[in-house]
Amino acid sequence: MKEKFLSVPIPVPSNAEKGTPVDLDACINAYFADEVIEDVVCSGCPGKKTIQQQRKRFITYPKTLVVNLKRIVFDEWVPKKLEVELMMDRDGVHDFEKMRGNNC
């Protein structure tokens, strides 16, 4: 990852009530969760589709990391803003070590 910012999803349904509490760690964990990608065309076996897994990890850590919440979601193709209340530790310190890649 060569970014200095993360645009993380908010792990609540699109119909969540206004003021729903959401933990920052849950948002960060949702961003770094393994993702299954279906119907990938295999380059080694032309014409066949397969399933692959995508994993996001840090190679190096930036001096400053900006975290942005993706508040706009689409509910049946209609954009909607999530009005959630972000919960986080008072000190604002988060351990990103478990998000480190194996290449470090």
Higher pLDDT, 104 or 33: 33
What pLDDT is recorded for position 103?
60
- Please state the pTM of the whole predicted model: 0.79
CA 70 to chain centre: 9
Handedness of CA 48, 50, 56, 58 (dihedral sign): negative
Taking CA 97 as the corner, what is the angle to CA 92 and CA 99, rounded to the nearest 5 degrees?
Answer: 100
CA distances to 37, 80, 101, 103 from 63, rounded to whole Å, are 32, 33, 17, 19
Domain boundaries, the chain: 5-74
